[in-house]
Copies of this chain bind each other. A is one copy, B any other.
Amino acid sequence: MGILRKTQSLAVMLAEFDKSSHAISAIDLIRRLSNKLNKTTVYRILDKLEDDGLLHSFLGKNGIKWYAKCNGCSKTAHTDVHPHFQCVDCGQVDCLAIQIPIPELPNRTALMSSVLIQGKCQNCL
């Protein structure tokens, strides 16, 4: 149901996402903010920011949850859909500003798709 109040915790979380352009895993965020915020709070704020179209979530390697800033989404329209890249060496995750076309599927209706590409990032090449 999105964010209603401008709390300290919210400010701390948003600041963390402003520090870098990479995606952040929920786990890492919890670890980074462990002296300031409870993990339940972290999960709850992530949820709300996603509801509001400020962040989007996706699953990385091993099915763990990552979050990144949305580009032009709103509470009603999550339109910023794209593949993600995870470096197999350093673990860093980024949004890719490309589109992967999904073909028509016979006998099925595709509603959404998620693409995770794994490989080596520029630093680790």
A interface residues with partner B (beta carbon < 8 Å): 59, 62-65, 83, 85, 88, 96, 98, 100, 102-103, 105, 107-122, 125
Cβ of A84 to closest chain B Cβ, rounded Å: 10
A109–B85 touching, CB < 8 Å: no
Q: Known contacts A63-B59, A105-B85, A105-B96: does B122 contact A118 (CB below 8 Å)?
A: no
Cα A125 to Cα B108 in complex, Å, equals 8
Cβ of A6 to closest chain B Cβ, rounded Å: 31
A-B interface, 3 closest residue pairs, ranked by CB to CB distance from nearest: A63-B63, A110-B119, A107-B122
A-B contacts, 19 of them at CB < 8 A, read: A63-B65, A83-B113, A85-B105, A85-B108, A105-B117, A107-B121, A107-B122, A108-B122, A108-B125, A110-B117, A111-B119, A111-B120, A112-B118, A112-B119, A113-B115, A113-B117, A114-B115, A114-B116, A114-B118
